[in-house]
Each structure stands twice: as structure tokens, then as C-alpha cells.
Structure 1
């Protein structure tokens, strides 16, 4: 790093790519704050929970054919975006703007 010039773009990019998938920056890049804390492990746990419930419902011996309503694992709500540009990659400035907004 050169004195007075700040970190290089390569350094910033390499640090951002190494963030854990549960970080707020990663969540904002995925679509919003509602994804904060939702890494691969949490998604797999939710899918496993739903699969066990489906298996329980399918193979259970229920009285009079009434299968119980089993709950699903709560997942982050994805807001429907009306802008077609939501498919574009987000810049660091956009993510920073979302971080500083309350």
C-alpha cells in the first residue's frame, strides 16, 4: 500500500471475496439485508428440516387419513424487484450505500 493512496482495488476485491457467506456484505450482494446470516449451512438445515417433515407426512400412520399440517422452516423473504437491472452485478459503492442506509 502506498502512503496516502489507500488500498489497491485488487486488495479490496480479494478481501471482499474472502468474506464468509454469513456476512452482511455478502447478504447485500445476494439481494438484501433479509439474507444476513443465511449461509450455505442454514439453507441446508432448512432444506433438511422440510425434507424430514415431508417424509414424516408421507410415511405416517395418521388416524382417519388426516395428515397434520407440519410447519416449514422460515426463510428470508425475497422482495420482488420491478427493475430489470437487478440482475446486474452490484458495485462496491452500491453495497456501501446499502450498508450506511438505515
Structure 2
């Protein structure tokens, strides 16, 4: 669980990644495990930028885990990410791969 949080903390502002990309990077085998780790017993008011993790289609599938269903979108928009119909616009350009951590 801490590995998922550590990777999530590296997602740059204005960028997003997917549950699956984190799962693949950590060889967890399941995107659902990443979602569980992010939202299990975590206060989403801390420094964990879980709002930057979306599903493989760029949809804000975790939005109901925040204090309000619009919090995730509001946080992304504050970072310059355009969201329409609960989906990140220009998802391919905004996508951040955890593999970039290997270059640090």
C-alpha cells in the first residue's frame, strides 16, 4: 500500500496517471489493487494527490471517494487540467508514466 502512495506522490501537478499504469509499474497485477490502496483508510486531505489517478479512459472513476463528487475535478482544474463529463480532456498529453521515476 505504501508503494502505491509513494508513486502517487510523484505525479506532477497538471498531469494524471492511471490505476493500471501504477499497477504495472509496481507489478501488482491489478488496477483494482491500486484503487483499494489509494482509498483504504487514507485521508484525502493529506499530501496524497490521489485526484491525479484516473481510469484507463481518463475518467474520474475515483471521484466518489472524495469529500464531494466534484472535489477530484476541482483539484485537477486548479492545476490546469480540463475536465468535461468526468473525463480528462487531452488525456494522452496529460498522461504521466510512473516509468519516469526510473529516470530520476
* Same fold? TM cut 0.5: no
Q: Which has the larger radius of gyration?
A: 1
Query: Larger RCO: Structure 1 or Structure 2 (Cα < 8 Å, ≥ 6 residues apart)?
Result: 2
TM-score (normalizing by structure 1): 0.25
